[in-house]
Structure 1
Amino acid sequence: MSRRLRRPLAVLASVLLTTSLAACGGDDSDDSTINPDAKAGFDAVSISGDFGSNPDVTWKAQMSTDEMDIKTLIEGDGPEVTADDA
């Protein structure tokens, strides 16, 4: 191939490669939606089952939270759990 054709072909190849790679990029928009009727916290979750067996957990609605909620299901008589126990 002659030197005259190498440069234009190299430019054309780089333009085509750049265009094709740009087409592969994803958009940054968040298309996920949350049901506006979704319940929050413990109202959205139902937990049942006997102590010592696997619990039966069901979600009544889609839920979203920014923090952790804690609820005591069965009050025990042992020592209180501390952060060092984790």
Structure 2
Amino acid sequence: MLDVRDLRVTFGRRSDAPVLDGVALAVAPGAATGIVGASGSGKTRLVRAVVGLQPVTAGTISLGGVPLSAGLRGRNREQRRRDWPG
């Protein structure tokens, strides 16, 4: 299960202007989820944050009950490449 809680992403490294604030998302194994919103609403930033390509200001991301580092560099090889059970 993918579990995102209280995710906060801001513009740039020094800005306090949130792009995303307090986002929560849970996706069960084998499920598919669509993210819908107006242009500029943060859909791409959300996905980039979950996969570790966008810096996260606050919140937690876990996959299969295992907490993930907010960035790719903090994730081990297995977390980046594993075929997580579905």
Higher strand share: 2
Question: Which of these two proteins has the greater Rg computed from alpha carbons?
Answer: 1
Higher helix share: 1
TM > 0.5: no
What interval of TM-score do these two structures reach, taking the shorter chain for normalisation? under 0.3
Using the size of structure 1 for normalisation, the TM-score is 0.26
Using the size of structure 2 for normalisation, the TM-score is 0.26
